[in-house]
Amino acid sequence: MPEIRRRLPVVAAALLAAALPFLLDDFWLQTGLFTMAAVVGAIGLTLLVGVAGQLSLGHASFAALGAYTYAWAVGETDGRAAGIGLPPVLGLVLAGVVAAVAGALFSPISGRLRGIYLGLATIGLVFLARHLMVNLQGATGGFVGRSVEPFSVPGFSFSNNDPDYLAVAGVQFEGLHRLWYLFLGVVLLAAWLGRNVKASRTGRALANVRDSETAAASTGIHVARAKATAFVISSAYAGVAGALMALAYGRIAPDLFGLQLSIDFLVMIVLGGLGSIAGAAAGAAFVVILPLVLTQYSSDLPFLASPGSGGLDAATLARLLYGAAIVAVLLFLRGGLAGAAGRLRRRRALPDPDDPPPAPPPPAGTGASPSAPHPDVPTRSKETSS
Task: Give 160 or 295: the residue with its C-beta nearer to another protein.
Answer: 295
Contacts of another protein in 238-277 (CB under 8 A): 259, 263, 266-267, 270, 274
> How near is the Cβ of 129 to another protein at its closest, in Å?
9
Q: Which of 171, 330, 349, 359 binds another protein (CB under 8 A)?
A: 330
> How near is the Cβ of 310 to another protein at its closest, in Å?
6
Does 112 engage in binding with another protein (CB under 8 A)?
yes
Q: Are 282 and 274 in contact (CB under 8 A)?
A: no
Does 376 engage in binding with another protein (CB under 8 A)?
no
Task: Give 114 or 198: the residue with its C-beta nearer to another protein.
Answer: 114
Does 117 engage in binding with another protein (CB under 8 A)?
yes
- Beta partners for 152? 157
Please give the sequence-ordered ranges of beta strands (E in DSSP) within the chain, or none if there are none: 146-147, 152-153, 156-157, 167-168, 171-172, 251-252
Does 123 engage in binding with another protein (CB under 8 A)?
yes
Q: At what angle do helices 116-135 and 59-74 cross, to 10 degrees?
A: 30
Q: Are 379 and 206 in contact (CB under 8 A)?
A: no
The dihedral formed by the CA atoms of 155, 36, 258 and 309, expressed in degrees to the nearest 10: 110
- Beta partners for 167? 172
Please work out the total of residues on this chain that contact another protein, with binding judged by CB under 8 A. 54
> How near is the Cβ of 267 to another protein at its closest, in Å?
7
Chain-centre distance of CA 238, in angstroms? 7
Here's the x/- map for another protein, 125-154, by CB under 8 A: it reads as x-xx-xxx-xx-------------------
Close Cβ partners of 321 (under 8 Å, ≥ 6 residues apart): 290, 294
Task: Give 179 or 287: the residue with its C-beta nearer to another protein.
Answer: 287
CA distance 214 to 19: 49
Residue 5, H or E segment: helix 2-19
Pairing of strands 146-147, 152-153: unpaired
Which DSSP category does 51 fall into? I
Pairing of strands 251-252, 146-147: antiparallel
Does 225 engage in binding with another protein (CB under 8 A)?
no
Does 291 engage in binding with another protein (CB under 8 A)?
no
> How near is the Cβ of 272 to another protein at its closest, in Å?
12
Q: Which of 1, 327, 354, 360 binds another protein (CB under 8 A)?
A: 327
Task: Give 15 or 312: the residue with its C-beta nearer to another protein.
Answer: 312
- Which of 86-94, 124-132, 149-157, 283-291 is the region at the interface with another protein (rule: CB under 8 A)? 124-132
By CB under 8 A, name the binding residues for another protein. 49, 53, 55, 108-109, 112-117, 119-121, 123-125, 127-128, 130-132, 134-135, 259, 263, 266-267, 270, 274, 308, 310, 312, 316, 319-320, 322-327, 330-335, 381-386
